[in-house]
């Protein structure tokens, strides 16, 4: 996600800002910019792409002299990566500069009002309204202008603000987006995360919601939104930079698994107005959705697995036939798409070569393409006819966890939306499902809290040669993802099978002690899966089962059981996948594997 660094002090600001932004690179970004104040003027430099470009443009900051500045790395949300959309944003007179992380939810009405008052906008961002709104309220008292702005804006924000005629102070503001300030003997710092300034100081203050900080070169003052001064305690940071980037987690993968409750909320919340699903970004009317007769989901790897779950949910809820294809197959098989077909491509990176080629193929055939994408402004996001973003934020670990969880949420919402427009879903059923969706973040949290139990179990399988995953229906799709998580990071051979398919060959691979993970979350299929568990047990398998709370009968056939909280059967994947991710992770950790960067794999597969 975006990064913020600000400085006011005795040292040159630009090199400090560049260095700090570099420490935040792990968060992911697509453009960068800096504003430095000197001799009553704000100089601004911006660049699209890596921070290195901004470093080159400013000769490591030496071309931007000055001891006061703010900088930003942007992960595009409103508007594609471009110089215009990069931060800092300024008012028309270029006397106020702002950097922002988060989203200003009411920026459209604010922008319209400002346009009516004669303001003109250079970018597509929500942030630019802040610069103009500050200009509107600024009458020489920065604190007063900032508090007035804060009373008008809705959403989340961490801000760094600079006024041209106030060279001895800069401001930091925060609501629902992390921000810290720090101090050393030479100056004061703003940062969106600790690693950015850890090299300069370990004395930091965590800015709380709706607090404003005035930073001068030798001291800081904290205020409420009502301009009342408050006192705050400093915290001394005792972790090193690498640990800070991972926020104390041992690996990015673990951190990202723990971010899943938030990811689900961030993906769900903007699409729910009360109980109604609104996909503002979907450029299709309800009538057009109603006319869709078939959906083709196309993706690779885990995104394909999310698509397999999507098939079960869309077909079950909305009664639309769904075909799921691996993008590498779809692109070369001359797919038959009939009138009324819609293509949905799913991708975290938005750059996967096969998925992009499949998208182009579908467009060439004249069919509408919807992208479910995580990386804003990526190729797939730009080329698809409509995009629904999964708000998972940057994913660093090669093995996806939180982006996959977010993809599931979008697919559920899409199924419910289709169910309503097609009239296949009763209102009361729909409302119960929405209520169940809203419970998922807390339920995921609960499952994550049991990580030690899974770790303990995983340690027994560090030396395993083969591990199998079985399930029926949606449980088969969960098994596919559970198996991939395990094998890609632990290098243990693993396969996922539709449980009913076992005796058509696979069962001959089961030996004494082989671990078989049976996923059984679909009440209608409990008995059938139990029969398959009994079959493998009879051949010597050790059976670990994942099932719903209350399904005690499974204990007759399983050697070890993990229960997931109660939810709608269509949503069980979002819960059952948590212990499976943890299992794969802890087996790999136990084996000493490079969990975040498994051998031979890349985060973004831009080749065929």
Q: Distance from CA of residue 17 to its chain's centroid?
A: 25
Q: Is 38 a catalytic residue?
A: no
Tokens for 93? 């007179």
Site for ligand F6R contains 477 (CB under 6 A): no
14/484 with CB nearer ligand F6R: 484
Applying CB under 6 A, which of residues 30, 488, 535, 596 lies at the interface with ligand F6R? 488
With binding defined as CB under 6 A, does residue 379 bind ligand F6R? no
**Nearest distance, CB of residue 603 and ligand F6R, angstroms:** 7
Mapped onto helix, strand or coil, the DSSP state of residue 26 is helix
By beta carbon distance, the residue nearest ligand F6R is 301
Burial 96-132 (b: 16+ CB within 10 A, else e): bbbbbbbbbeebeebbeebeeeebebebebbbbbbbb
Please give the Cα distance from 30 to 251 (Å, whole number): 23
Is residue 347 part of the contact set for ligand F6R (CB under 6 A)? yes
Q: Which of 85, 260, 349, 572 binds ligand F6R (CB under 6 A)?
A: 349
Contacts of 134 (CB under 8 A, 6+ apart): 91, 96, 98, 145, 146, 149, 161
CB 604, min distance to ligand F6R, A: 6
Among 355, 390, 529, 548, binds ligand F6R (CB under 6 A): 355
Asked if 573 interacts with ligand F6R (CB under 6 A), we say no
* Whether 96 contacts 161, CB under 8 Å: yes
Closest to ligand F6R by CB, 300 vs 530, is 300
Q: Does 300 bind ligand F6R (CB under 6 A)?
A: yes
Task: Pick the catalytic residue from 38, 422, 591, 603.
Answer: 603
H/E stretch holding 420 reads helix 402-422
For residues 392 and 430, the answer to whether their CB atoms sit within 8 Å is no
Cα 144–Cα 145–Cα 151 angle in degrees, nearest 5: 90
CB atoms under 10 Å from CB of 422, counted, come to 17
- Count other Cβ atoms within 10 Å, centred on residue 511: 11
Q: Which helix (H) or strand (E) holds 47?
A: strand 41-48
Residue 607 CB burial class (10 angstroms; 0-12, 13-18, ≥19): exposed
Residue 353 touches ligand F6R, criterion: CB under 6 A: no
User: Considering only residues 173, 303, 381, 544, which one is a binding residue for ligand F6R as defined by CB under 6 A?
Assistant: 303
Spell out a b/e string for 542-566, using b for 16 or more CB atoms within 10 Å of the CB, else e.
Answer: bbbbbbbeebeebeebbeebbbbee
Strand order in the sheet with 466-471: 493-498, 466-471, 515-520, 542-548, 560-564
**Catalytic annotation present for 2:** yes
443 binds ligand F6R (CB under 6 A): no
- Least distance to ligand F6R, CB of residue 355, Å: 5
Q: Which is nearer to ligand F6R, 475 or 488 (CB)?
A: 488
Catalytic choice (2, 188, 300, 593): 2
192 in Cβ contact with 126 (< 8 Å): no
Report the residue from 35, 76, 399, 433 that binds ligand F6R according to the rule CB under 6 A: 399
**Residue 298 binds ligand F6R, judged by CB under 6 A:** no
- Residue 515, φ and ψ in degrees, nearest 5: -80, 125
Q: For residues 254 and 533, which CB has a smaller minimum distance to ligand F6R in the complex?
A: 254
Asked if 352 touches ligand F6R (CB under 6 A), the answer is: yes
Which range binds ligand F6R by CB under 6 A, 139-147, 244-252, 295-303, 316-324?
Answer: 295-303
Which uninterrupted H or E stretch holds 370? strand 369-373
Q: Does 95 bind ligand F6R (CB under 6 A)?
A: no
Kindly tell me which residue out of 66, 71, 102, 301 binds ligand F6R, with binding defined by CB under 6 A: 301
- Residue 301 backbone class (left: φ over 0; alpha: ψ -120 to 50; beta: rest): left
Joined together, the tokens standing for residue 31 give: 């453009």
| Segment interacting with ligand F6R (CB under 6 A) among 244-252, 294-302, 521-529, 575-583 | 294-302
Q: How far is the CB of 608 from ligand F6R (least distance, A)?
A: 12
CB 325 within 8 A of CB 335: yes
Count of positions on this chain that bind ligand F6R (CB under 6 A): 15
Residues whose CB falls within 8 Å of the CB of residue 148, separated by 6 or more in sequence, listed in order? 137
Nearest-approach distance from CB 408 to ligand F6R, in angstroms: 13
Among the candidate windows 30-38, 97-105, 109-117, 301-309, which touches ligand F6R by CB under 6 A? 301-309
Q: Which segment (5-13, 343-351, 384-392, 573-581) binds ligand F6R by CB under 6 A?
A: 343-351
Q: For ligand F6R, which is the closer residue by CB, 486 or 502?
A: 486
> Least distance from C-beta 48 to ligand F6R, angstroms?
21
400 binds ligand F6R (CB under 6 A): yes
Whole-number minimum distance, CB 389 to ligand F6R, in Å? 13
Q: Does residue 302 interact with ligand F6R by CB under 6 A? A: yes
Q: Does 348 bind ligand F6R (CB under 6 A)?
A: yes
Yes or no: say if 516 and 483 are a contact pair by the CB < 8 Å rule. Answer: no
Q: How far apart are CA 33 and CA 131, in angstroms?
A: 15
Q: Counting contacts by CB under 6 A, is residue 605 touching ligand F6R?
A: yes
CB count within 10 Å of CB 265 equals 16
The least CB distance from residue 158 to ligand F6R, in Å, is 27
Smallest separation, CB 245 to ligand F6R (Å)? 20
Q: Which residues bind ligand F6R (CB under 6 A)?
A: 300-303, 347-349, 352, 355, 399-400, 484, 488, 604-605
Which residues form the catalytic set?
2, 603
């Amino acid at each position: 996600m975006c990064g913020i660094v600000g400085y006011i002090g005795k040292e040159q600001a630009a090199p400090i800002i560049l260095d700090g932004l570099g420490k935040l690179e792990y968060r992911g970004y697509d453009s960068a910019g800096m504003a430095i104040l000197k001799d009553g003027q704000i100089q601004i430099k911006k660049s699209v792409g890596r921070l290195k470009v901004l470093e080159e443009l400013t000769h490591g900051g030496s071309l931007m002299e000055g001891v006061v500045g703010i900088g930003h790395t942007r992960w595009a949300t409103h508007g594609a990566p471009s110089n215009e959309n990069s931060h800092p944003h300024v008012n028309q007179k270029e006397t106020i500069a702002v950097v922002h992380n988060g989203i200003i939810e009411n920026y459209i009405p604010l922008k319209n009002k400002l346009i009516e008052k004669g303001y003109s906008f250079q970018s597509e961002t929500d942030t630019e309204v802040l610069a103009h709104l500050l200009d509107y309220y600024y009458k020489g008292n920065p604190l007063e202008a900032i508090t007035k702005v804060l009373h008008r804006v809705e959403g989340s924000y961490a801000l760094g603000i600079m006024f041209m005629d106030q060279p001895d102070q800069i401001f930091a503001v925060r609501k629902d987006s992390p921000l810290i300030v720090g101090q050393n003997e030479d100056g004061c710092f703003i940062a969106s995360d600790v690693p950015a300034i850890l090299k300069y100081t370990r004395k930091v203050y965590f800015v709380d919601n709706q607090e404003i900080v005035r930073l001068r070169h030798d001291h800081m003052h904290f205020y409420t939104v009502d301009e009342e001064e408050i006192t705050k305690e400093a915290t001394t940071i005792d972790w090193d930079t690498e640990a800070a980037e991972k926020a104390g987690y041992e690996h990015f993968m673990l951190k990202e698994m723990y971010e899943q409750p938030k990811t689900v909320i961030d993906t769900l919340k903007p699409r729910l107005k009360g109980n109604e699903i609104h996909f503002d970004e979907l450029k299709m009317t309800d009538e057009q959705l109603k006319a869709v007769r078939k959906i083709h989901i196309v993706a690779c790897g885990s995104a394909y697995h999310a698509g397999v779950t999507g098939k079960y949910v869309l077909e079950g809820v909305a009664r639309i036939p769904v075909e799921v294809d691996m993008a590498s197959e779809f692109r070369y098989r001359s797919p038959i798409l009939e009138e009324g077909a819609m293509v949905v491509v799913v991708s975290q990176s938005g750059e996967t070569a096969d998925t992009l080629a499949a998208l182009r193929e579908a467009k060439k055939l004249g069919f509408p393409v919807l992208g479910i994408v995580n990386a804003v402004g990526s190729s797939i996001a730009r080329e698809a006819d409509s995009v629904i973003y999964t708000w998972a934020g940057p994913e660093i670990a090669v093995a996806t966890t939180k982006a996959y969880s977010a993809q599931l949420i979008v697919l559920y919402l899409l199924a419910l939306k289709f169910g309503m427009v097609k009239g296949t879903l009763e209102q009361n059923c729909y409302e119960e499902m929405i209520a169940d969706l809203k419970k998922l973040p807390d339920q995921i949290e609960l499952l994550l809290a049991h990580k030690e139990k899974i770790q303990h179990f995983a340690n027994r399988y560090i030396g395993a040669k083969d591990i199998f995953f079985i399930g029926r229906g949606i449980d088969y799709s969960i098994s596919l993802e559970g198996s991939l998580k395990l094998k890609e990071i632990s290098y243990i051979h693993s396969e996922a099978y539709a449980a009913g398919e076992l005796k058509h060959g696979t069962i001959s691979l089961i030996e004494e002690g082989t671990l078989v993970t049976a996923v059984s979350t679909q009440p209608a299929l409990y008995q059938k899966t139990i029969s398959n568990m009994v079959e493998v047990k009879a051949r010597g398998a050790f059976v670990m089962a994942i099932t719903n709370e209350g399904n005690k009968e499974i204990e007759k056939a399983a050697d070890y059981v993990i229960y997931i909280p109660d939810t709608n059967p269509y949503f069980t994947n979002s819960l059952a996948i948590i212990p499976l991710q943890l299992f794969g992770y802890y087996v790999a950790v136990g084996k000493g594997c490079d969990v975040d960067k498994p051998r031979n794999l890349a985060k973004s597969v831009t080749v065929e």
